[in-house]
């Protein structure tokens, strides 16, 4: 039996004990991003095709699933078809994960809501608790490892992303003379990923969230190439979870994905559309993350945009993100 | 009925031949089957068996796809002189050019299919049953122009051979419109392929208006260079093209094609120079990827650095050989130049164009890609399939044209 190559993405370290004081000067320097990350031991996987029709985690044939041939694009399904589809999926998932609490919602966008996000880079300490919370909340694959949020460690004095390091691994954070810039899907108003998708498998919902129909994506990865924020992730192998999954699922959000399709941050669609904050907002120990309705003049996010020094990433790209960074 | 006779004869011709022919087919088939085996392996485990990851999400497959779109488009460089300028000695070559275009397109379609995470859902691209994002997504345009060009390049030689087989005069009313159509269509396939890349704001090094012109220039050098080699192989092993035969392809014709190659190659070198100057002199946002490609980072050469310099040297040497009349009109040096520039352009246009755009990643991460062994073997398998298809198509064409149909 063959062992496929593991993803080279370095495992994210467990969150470190948090100190708001600078780390002692003796702490190790981060590994330079310029240490080339060449892959070790690649390519000599023992090779065998075990069976021509292997099964995926749902017991369906891995290569050609009959299910897909009878499925419509999500936006073309009637309410009854959605209900039927969700019911079938719930049955399968409950059995597979041995969890009767699993429910899949298809809650649509509310009128008068346009979600926006703001992140205080003056406060972020780079603890990566948001990353960990996101992985758990959104049922990201543990092996191969998929993370929707990437926290960049930046040297003070520069905003140059090419100088950032996402593999920092210190005893304590924040590192002296550094600041942190977490990046996830910026939920662009003018999303290049949606434009290039050849099958309309990814689109922008009325509340501004860019979603993916995991059963419609053909896995061409054009959207990954088109995203200026490295916010999209591909399932290079069959995803795995360490037993339990988050049972509160949304069809366009955190339901388990499968091999060969794209996924991305959805502003925790399963939470935000039910009136909750996203998992990353709740997990942030320093309150650097803010989330709210951009169309509501009284919302915290509108106040922040009006009163703080706000900027958006790569504004020159013309993507108009609804993800704002700010400094007090 | 008549059509079935023609198809039957074609299949018979393709599957019968000398021992040497069978040995060649067997060699191609072996490479193809090895690739197919590893493709099944990839289907089972996912694209994780390749060297690609989120950081570098397109690799060997898309690089080779890009190159062979160019080879397919290059047939037009034979068709234009033959049908627009009535250079009569180019006419026997057009048949080979069209067969090459069809084979290259089949390879392109294979490369795209094997790169897909969910090839079982390819029907989502089709109208009515699927939901194509037309006209916004350039990939939809690519599906249209590539399949259209494949149909054109199978129809034109197919109809001509059908007429020859049944001893009829091929109707110019049918043939000429398609031949003329094939000229802009060839340009379109490579333009659309370039637009896939240059339309992305996320990859500064691709985001250049010179992408499509550069693609066409390199295509019109590499494709006809391959045709020069193919003509000589065909002349050597078949009666087609030999001196004194009805379908003679004299050396003079080869030298004329070499003229096309050298002009295209010089334009392509000029484009490369223009691109490199703009990027390095302005030293702006585009520089990181180009610097990675040509010099690596912090004094360490990248995995691609030796290849891109080798490519540049090969292209320049080939250009010099082709510029000097004495070496251009010597088949040995001419062939050397053709092989050099074919490899040089394959490097420049494949890995040299596709990979650097991903390095550094949009968030500045340096992650180097190299194809895994299964990935390399699958790529090789598609090359094997292309050789197999071209050999059989060329044999059918040659034997029907020369009247050796074994009836």
Mean pLDDT in each 10-residue stretch from start to end of chain A (328 residues)? 38 34 32 38 39 49 61 93 93 90 96 97 96 96 94 95 92 94 98 97 98 96 97 94 92 94 98 97 97 97 96 96 96
User: Hunting for tokens 């062979």 — which residue is that?
Assistant: B68
Who among A49, A68, A232 is closest to B40 (CB)?
Answer: A49
Nearest to B194 by CA among B106, B280, B100, B271: B271
pLDDT at B176: 92
Find the closest chain B residue to A230 by CA distance: B362
d(CA B354, CA A10) in angstroms, rounded, equals 24
Each residue's pLDDT tens digit, B46-99? 999 999 999 999 999 999 999 999 999 998 999 999 999 999 999 999 999 999
Specify the pLDDT at position A65: 57
From the candidates A72, A160, A200, A212, which should be mutated to test the interface with B, based on the most B CB atoms within 10 A?
A200
Q: Could you tell me where the DSSP H helices lie in B296-406?
A: 305-323, 325-328, 331-349, 351-354, 373-401
Q: Which pLDDT score, from 0 to 100, does residue A66 have?
A: 61
Tokens of A187: 């939920």
Q: What is the pLDDT of residue B283?
A: 86
Cα A199 to Cα B122: distance, rounded to the nearest angstrom: 9
Q: Is the pLDDT of residue B252 over 70?
A: yes
CATH number of A66-113+128-267: 3.30.70.20
Question: What confidence tier does B407 reach under pLDDT thresholds 50, 70, 90?
Answer: low
A135-182 per-position pLDDT tens digit: 999 999 998 999 999 999 999 999 999 899 999 999 999 999 999 999
Are A230 and B54 an interchain contact pair (Cβ–Cβ within 8 Å)? yes
Quote the tokens at residue B292.
């990675």
Token pair 């991003």 in the structure block, residue: A33
| Residue B1 pLDDT | 81
Element housing B153 (H / E): helix B138-165
Q: Going by C-beta distance under 8 Å and a sequence separation of 6 or more, which residues neighbour residue B40? A: A49, A52
Determine contact, residues A196/B138, Cβ cutoff 8 Å. yes
**What 3-state class would DSSP assign to B235?**
helix
Residues of B in contact with A51 (CB under 8 A): 44
Q: What is the pLDDT of residue A28?
A: 33
For residue A251, the number of C-alpha atoms closer than 13 Å in the C-beta half-sphere is: 22
Q: How many CB atoms lie within 10 A of CB A224?
A: 23
Tokens describing residue B67: 């190159």
Backbone CA torsion sign across A14, A17, A23, A25: negative
Classify the phi-psi angles of A277: left when phi > 0, otherwise alpha if psi is within -120 to 50, otherwise beta.
Answer: beta
How many Cβ atoms from other residues are within 10 Å of residue A201's Cβ?
A: 27
CA distance A15 to A31: 18
Q: How far is CA A188 from the centre of its chain?
A: 14
Report how far apart, in Å, the C-alpha atoms of A138 and of each of A100, A124, B13, B117, B343 are: 18, 22, 58, 21, 46
Contact A278, A179 (CB under 8 A): no
Residues of A in contact with B365 (CB under 8 A): 33, 37, 166, 230
**Predicted-complex ipTM score:** 0.93
Report how far residue B67's alpha carbon sits from residue A111's, in angstroms, rounded to the nearest whole number: 48
Question: What's the whole-number mean pLDDT along residues B285-311?
Answer: 92
Q: Across residues B304-313, what is the average pLDDT?
A: 97
Contacts of A161 in chain B (CB under 8 A): 362-364
What does the pLDDT read at residue B186? 96
pLDDT digits (tens, 9 = 90+) for A66-115: 667 778 999 999 999 999 999 999 998 998 899 999 999 999 999 999 99
Q: What is the 3-state secondary structure (H, E, C) of chain A?
A: CCCCCCCCCCCCCCCCCECCCCCCCCCCCCCCCCCCCCCCCCCCCCCCCCCCCCECCCCCECCCCHHHHHCCCHHHCCHHHHHHHHHHHHHHHHHHHCCCCCEEECCCCCCCCCEEEEEECCCCCCCCHHHHHHHHHCCCCCCCCCCCCEEEEEECCCCCHHHCECCCCCCCECCCCEEEEEECCCCCCCCHHHHHCCCCCEEECCCCCEEECCCCCCCCCHHHHHCCCCCEEECCCCCCCCCCCCCEEECCCCCCCCCCCEEECCCCHHHHCCCCCCHHHHHCCCCCEEEEECCCCCCHHHHHHHHCEEECCCHHHCCCCCEEEEEC
Cis previous bond, B319, omega within 30: no
Of A148, A161, A220, which to mutate for an interface test with B (greatest number of B Cβ within 10 Å)? A220
Nearest CA of chain B to the CA of A216: how many Å?
A: 7
Half-sphere exposure of B391 (CA within 13 A, CB side): 20
Peptide bond into B132 cis (omega under 30): no
**How many other CB atoms are found less than 10 A from the CB of residue B264?**
24
The CATH number assigned to the domain with range B17-401 reads 1.20.1630.10
Q: Could you tell me if A27 and A171 are in contact, meaning their C-beta atoms sit under 8 angstroms apart?
A: yes
**Nearby residues of A109 by Cβ (< 8 Å), 6 or more positions away:** A205, A206, A207, A209, A273
Do residue B138 and residue A64 have CB atoms under 8 angstroms apart?
no
B374 contacts A47 by C-beta, under 8 angstroms: yes
Q: Please answer whether residues A108 and A202 qualify as being in contact, where contact means their C-beta atoms are separated by less than 8 angstroms.
A: no
- State how far the alpha carbon of B169 is from the alpha carbons of B80, B83, B213, in Å: 22, 17, 38
pLDDT digit string, tens, across residues B105-130: 999 999 999 999 999 899 999 999 99
Which pLDDT band holds residue B243 (cuts at 50, 70, 90)?
confident
**A interface test, pick of B197, B202, B305, B376 with most A CB neighbours within 10 Å:** B202
Tokens standing for residue A252:
């366009």
Sole residue written with tokens 């370095």: A10
- In this prediction, residue A26 carries a pLDDT of 31
| Cα distance between residue B142 and residue A220, in whole Å | 13
- Torsion angle defined by CA atoms of residues B11, B100, B252 and B84, in that order, rounded to the nearest 10 degrees: 110
Question: Could you tell me the residue ranges of all domains in chain A?
Answer: 66-113+128-267
Q: Which helix (H) or strand (E) holds B95?
A: helix B91-115
Helical residues (DSSP H) of B166-244, grouped into ranges: 172-198, 211-237
pLDDT in tens, B3-43: 999 999 999 999 999 999 999 999 999 999 999 999 998 98
Q: Residue A30 has what pLDDT?
A: 36
Whole-angstrom distance, CA of residue A230 vs CA of residue A201 = 18
* Token digits of residue A288: 């650097």
Contact A260 B288 (CB under 8 A): no
End-to-end CA distance of chain B: 16
**Closest residue of chain A to B200, computed from CA coordinates:** A226
CB contact under 8 A, A200 and B51: no
User: Which single residue is written with the structure tokens 């009325």?
Assistant: A206
Contact A235 B298 (CB under 8 A): no
Cα within 13 Å of Cα(B339), Cβ side: 7
Q: For residue B131, give the 3-state DSSP assignment.
A: coil
Decide if A167 contacts A30 (C-beta within 8 A): yes
């Amino acid at each position: 039996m063959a062992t496929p190559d593991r993803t080279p993405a370095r495992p994210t370290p467990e969150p470190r004990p948090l100190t708001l004081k600078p780390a002692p000067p003796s702490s190790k320097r981060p590994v330079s991003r310029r240490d080339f990350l060449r892959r070790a031991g690649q390519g000599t996987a023992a090779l065998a095709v075990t069976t021509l029709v292997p099964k995926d985690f749902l017991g369906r044939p891995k290569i050609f699933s009959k299910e897909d041939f009878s499925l419509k694009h999500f936006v073309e399904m009637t309410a009854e078809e959605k209900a039927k589809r969700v019911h079938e999926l719930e049955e399968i998932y409950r059995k597979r994960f041995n969890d009767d609490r699993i429910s899949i919602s298809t809650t649509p966008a509310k009128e008068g809501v346009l979600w926006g996000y703001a992140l205080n880079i003056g406060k972020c300490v780079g603890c990566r608790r948001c990353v960990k919370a996101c992985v758990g909340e959104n049922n990201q694959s543990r092996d191969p490892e998929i993370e929707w949020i990437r926290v960049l460690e930046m040297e003070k004095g520069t905003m140059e992303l090419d100088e950032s390091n996402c593999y920092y691994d210190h005893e304590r954070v924040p590192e002296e003379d550094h600041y942190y810039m977490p990046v996830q899907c910026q939920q662009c108003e003018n999303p290049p990923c949606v434009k290039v998708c050849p099958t309309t498998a990814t689109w922008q919902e009325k509340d501004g969230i860019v979603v993916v129909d995991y059963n419609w994506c053909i896995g061409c990865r054009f959207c990954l190439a088109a995203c200026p924020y490295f916010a999209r992730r591909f399932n290079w192998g069959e995803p795995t979870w360490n037993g339990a999954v988050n049972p509160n699922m949304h069809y366009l959000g955190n339901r388990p994905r499968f091999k060969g399709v794209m996924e991305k941050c959805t502003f925790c669609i399963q939470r935000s559309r039910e009136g909750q904050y996203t998992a990353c907002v709740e997990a942030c120990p320093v309150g650097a993350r803010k989330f709210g309705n951009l169309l509501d003049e009284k919302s915290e996010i509108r106040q922040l945009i009006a009163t703080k020094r706000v900027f958006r990433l790569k504004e020159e790209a013309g993507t108009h993100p609804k993800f704002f960074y700010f400094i007090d | 009925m008549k059509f079935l006779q023609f198809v039957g004869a074609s299949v018979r011709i393709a599957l019968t031949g000398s021992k040497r022919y069978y040995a060649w087919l067997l060699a191609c088939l072996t490479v193809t089957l090895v690739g197919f085996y590893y493709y099944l392996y990839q289907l089972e485990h996912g694209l994780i068996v390749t060297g690609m990851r989120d950081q570098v999400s397109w690799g060997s497959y898309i690089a080779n796809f890009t190159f062979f779109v160019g080879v397919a488009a290059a047939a037009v460089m034979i068709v234009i002189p033959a049908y627009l300028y009535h250079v009569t000695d180019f006419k026997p070559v057009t048949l080979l050019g069209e067969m090459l275009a069809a084979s290259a397109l089949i390879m392109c379609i294979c490369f795209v299919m094997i790169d897909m995470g969910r090839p079982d859902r390819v029907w989502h691209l089709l109208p009515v049953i699927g939901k194509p994002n037309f006209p916004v997504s350039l990939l939809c345009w690519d599906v249209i122009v590539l399949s259209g060009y494949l149909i054109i390049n199978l129809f034109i030689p197919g109809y001509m051979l059908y007429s020859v087989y049944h001893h009829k005069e091929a109707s110019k009313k049918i043939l000429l419109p398609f031949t003329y159509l094939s000229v802009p269509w060839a340009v379109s396939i490579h333009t659309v392929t370039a637009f896939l890349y240059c339309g992305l704001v996320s990859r500064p090094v691709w985001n250049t208006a010179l992408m499509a012109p550069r693609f066409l220039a390199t295509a019109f050098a590499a494709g006809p260079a391959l045709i020069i080699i193919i003509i000589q192989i065909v002349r050597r092993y078949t009666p087609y093209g030999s001196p004194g035969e009805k379908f003679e392809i004299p050396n003079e014709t080869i030298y004329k094609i070499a003229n096309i190659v050298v002009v295209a190659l010089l334009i392509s070198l000029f484009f490369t120079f223009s691109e490199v100057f703009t990027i390095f002199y302005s030293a702006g946002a585009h520089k990181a990827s180009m610097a990675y490609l040509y010099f690596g980072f912090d004094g360490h050469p990248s995995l691609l650095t030796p290849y891109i310099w080798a490519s540049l040297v090969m292209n320049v040497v080939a250009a010099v050989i082709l510029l000097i009349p004495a070496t251009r009109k010597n088949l040995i040096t001419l062939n050397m130049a053709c092989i050099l520039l074919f490899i040089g352009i394959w490097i420049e246009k494949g890995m040299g164009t596709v990979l650097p755009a991903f390095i550094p990643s949009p968030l500045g991460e340096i992650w180097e890609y190299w194809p895994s062994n299964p990935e390399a073997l699958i790529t090789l398998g598609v090359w094997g399939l292309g050789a197999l298809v071209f050999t059989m198509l060329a044999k059918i064409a040659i034997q029907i044209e020369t009247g050796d149909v074994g009836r």
